[in-house]
Structures are given as structure tokens and as C-alpha cells.
């Protein structure tokens, strides 16, 4: 008889050590927790400093360190945020940032997932070579491509007004242009990440689905995408943050101030008003708000072991 047996009974309830044991466990792990806490504080210190400063008046910022604000008398102010949000064009810049980032994130996920599925599970000639080329693109610095892309865009320019969102139809100062540029920059990593994730899905699931009569398209949408939520969510967060925080590509491809995203607008705050440090801190926080919301909305997918129960016990 085969010796390969496996206990498949209902997953055992988490073991509960006695109260004394739990305390001992807690004490044993204390040093580790203290170290982790220390690192956490160290890492978040700059952000906390930024947050505190953004609520302080300009004269205070230049006169004393941010930590002095933590002791009474507290006199925090909304003025900086008022000033930033009411800055001419800041609202539009926020919308521009969304207009650039959301479609790019969506495009990258869709194209990368489809490509990754093909690379992982479909048979076609030169599959591995093409994948290798794709991965090799990871080493090409984005900066190297700016001038060629810019030249290409001027040649391919379609100089007509894009309805609803504005800008040109294509070329520089067009949303379509920056979408495609950002998508292309994001794809090598995205395909690489997803292919590895898809490739690790159990082969039996695909074979079972094929036997059940599912086509590749259906396997992709009904099996692969739902099972890959953790990877897709992770990628979505990364991609969103990269594009949201991008300054360089926007600076090159979007000269029109009406189309400028937050990053561009915040940089201009510095140059046009001299060193208005207090405004910068508030603007940085406004700019961080959206990524934070995205992160907290998707973070549960990181920890969710959605694959548990797929195969065996």
C-alpha cells in the first residue's frame, strides 16, 4: 500500500496554549516586536514629520523643528491645505492625475494579464524567446526612450481636440499619448510578475476546465483572473503609485499646464512661489491621499490566501 497518506480531516482549530504558555510566548517574542516597532517608527518618521509640518504656519516651520509642535500649546492650522486646494489649477491637476493614472493602471493590468496567460499556458512558436525579450526590456532605462518617443509622437501627432477630456487626440499633450507611454513602460515588469504567478497555478485546474469545455478566453476570465486577485491587486497598487508619482514622463509629454498632473503642479509651486515649504508639505499630502485610499482598499487581497483548497488538502 502506498505510504503517501495525508490527513484530510477538517482543518484543526487553532491550538490554544494555556494562559501561562501564551504569556511566555509573548515575552519570548518581545525583543523581535520591539525591533520591528523601532524600524516602523524609523521608516514612518519622515512621513509623520511631513504630516505635522503641513498643519503648521509658515513662520513656525522656519523657526522651530516639527517635533516642537507635538507639545502644547498646539496651534495647528488648515491654512496650508486651503492655500493648496484653492491654488489656481490644483483641482484640475488632481483630475488630470486621475485621468492619467486610472486608465493606465487598467490598461497595464489587462494587457499584461492576457500576455502573461499566453506566456504561461498557451503553446506558440518562440514563446520562451519572446518572453526573454520582454524581460530583457526591464533593463532599458526609461530616460533612454524619452527622446525617441517624443520624436515619434511629434511625427504621429493628430492635432484635433479630444472630446470630453481635452488635449490632442494623439501625440504630445494628449492623454492617449501618455497612456500608451506609461503602459509600455509598465508592461515588462507586469508581464513578468503575472506570468510567474499564473505559471504557478496548478496545471490540473486548467486541464479540468478544458475537459469541462472551457475555451482559453473563458479559462482566463473565469479561472485565472479570480484566482489571481492577490497578484493583480499588488500589481495594481504598484502601477498606480508609479504613474501617480511620475513627474518625468508627464514633464516631457504634457507641456500644457491645463493637462498637468499633481506632481507637475506641485513642482511648479516651488518654482513660482519661491520656497513655500509649508505649501509643499500640504500639497504632498493631498497627492498621497489617493494612493493611500487605493492601498487600503486593496490590501486585504495581499493577505487573503485565495488559493487555499484548490488542490489536495
Partner 1 sequence: MAGVTFEHVSKRFEDTTAVDDLTMVIPDREFLVLVGPSGCGKSTVLRMLAGLETITGGEVKIGDRVVNHVPAKDRDIAMVFQSYALYPHMSVYDNMAFSLTLKKMPKAEIKRKVHEAAELLGIEALLGRKPRQLSGGQRQRVALGRAIVRDPAVFLFDEPLSNLDAKLRVQTRAEITKLHQRLGTTFIYVTHDQVEAMTMATRIAVLSAGRLQQLGTPQEVYAEPTNVFVAGFIGSPATNFFRGVVRDEGEGMSIDTGDFKLRVNPGRQAPLKDYIGREVIAGVRPEHIHDAAYQPADTETDELDVQVDVTEMMGNESLLHLVAGQSKLLARVDPRTKARPGEPLRIAIDTTELMAFDPETELALR
With contact defined as beta carbons under 8 Å apart, do 88 and 260 qualify?
no
Q: Which residues bind partner 1 (CB under 8 A)?
A: 1-2, 4-10, 202, 204-205, 207-214, 218, 222-223, 226-227, 306-313
Q: How far is the CB of 213 from partner 1 (least distance, A)?
A: 4
In the chain, the largest separation of any two C-alpha atoms, in whole Å, equals: 82
Q: Which is nearer to partner 1, 1 or 28 (CB)?
A: 1
Q: How far is the CB of 121 from partner 1 (least distance, A)?
A: 13
Residues 55 and 101: their CA atoms lie apart, in Å, by: 28
Among 172, 188, 176, 184, residue whose Cα is nearest residue 251: 172
Q: Which is nearer to partner 1, 64 or 208 (CB)?
A: 208
Q: How far is the CB of 190 from partner 1 (least distance, A)?
A: 22
Q: How far is the CB of 207 from partner 1 (least distance, A)?
A: 5
Residues 89 and 272: their CA atoms lie apart, in Å, by: 13
Q: How far is the CB of 124 from partner 1 (least distance, A)?
A: 15
The backbone region for 153, taken as left when phi is positive above 0, alpha when psi lies in -120 to 50, beta otherwise, is alpha
Q: Which is nearer to partner 1, 227 or 243 (CB)?
A: 227
DSSP state of 174: B
Q: Which is nearer to partner 1, 100 or 113 (CB)?
A: 113
Q: Which is nearer to partner 1, 18 or 308 (CB)?
A: 308
Between the CA atoms of 30, 33, 38 and 40, what dihedral angle is there, to the nearest 10 degrees? -170
Amino acid at each position: 500500500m502506498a505510504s503517501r497518506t495525508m490527513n484530510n480531516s477538517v482543518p484543526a482549530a487553532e491550538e490554544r496554549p494555556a494562559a501561562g504558555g501564551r504569556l511566555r510566548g509573548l515575552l519570548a517574542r518581545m525583543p523581535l516586536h520591539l525591533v520591528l516597532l523601532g524600524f516602523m517608527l524609523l521608516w514612518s518618521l519622515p512621513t509623520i514629520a511631513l504630516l505635522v509640518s503641513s498643519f503648521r504656519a509658515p513662520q513656525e516651520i522656519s523657526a522651530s523643528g516639527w517635533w516642537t509642535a507635538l507639545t502644547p500649546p498646539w496651534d495647528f492650522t488648515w491654512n496650508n491645505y486651503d492655500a493648496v486646494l484653492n491654488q489656481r489649477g490644483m483641482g484640475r491637476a488632481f483630475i488630470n492625475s486621475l485621468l492619467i493614472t486610472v486608465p493606465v493602471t487598467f490598461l497595464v493590468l489587462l494587457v499584461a494579464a492576457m500576455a502573461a496567460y499566453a506566456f504561461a499556458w498557451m503553446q506558440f512558436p518562440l514563446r520562451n524567446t519572446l518572453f526573454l525579450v520582454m524581460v530583457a526590456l526591464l533593463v532599458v532605462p526609461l530616460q533612454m526612450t524619452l527622446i525617441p518617443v517624443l520624436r515619434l509622437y511629434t511625427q504621429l501627432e493628430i492635432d484635433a481636440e479630444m472630446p470630453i477630456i481635452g488635449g490632442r487626440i494623439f501625440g504630445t499633450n494628449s492623454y492617449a499619448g501618455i497612456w500608451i507611454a506609461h503602459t509600455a513602460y509598465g508592461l515588462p515588469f507586469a508581464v513578468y510578475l503575472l506570468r510567474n504567478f499564473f505559471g504557478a497555478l496548478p496545471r490540473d485546474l486548467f486541464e479540468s476546465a478544458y475537459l469541462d469545455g472551457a475555451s482559453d478566453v473563458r479559462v482566463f476570465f473565469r479561472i485565472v483572473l479570480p484566482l489571481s486577485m492577490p497578484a493583480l491587486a499588488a500589481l495594481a497598487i504598484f502601477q498606480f503609485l508609479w504613474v501617480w508619482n511620475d513627474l518625468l514622463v508627464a514633464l516631457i509629454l504634457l507641456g500644457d499646464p491645463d493637462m498637468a498632473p499633481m506632481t507637475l503642479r506641485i513642482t511648479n509651486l516651488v518654482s513660482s512661489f519661491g520656497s513655500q515649504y509649508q505649501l509643499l508639505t500640504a500639497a504632498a499630502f493631498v497627492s498621497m491621499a489617493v494612493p493611500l485610499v487605493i492601498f487600503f482598499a486593496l490590501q486585504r487581497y495581499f493577505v487573503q490566501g485565495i488559493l487555499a483548497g484548490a488542490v489536495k488538502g
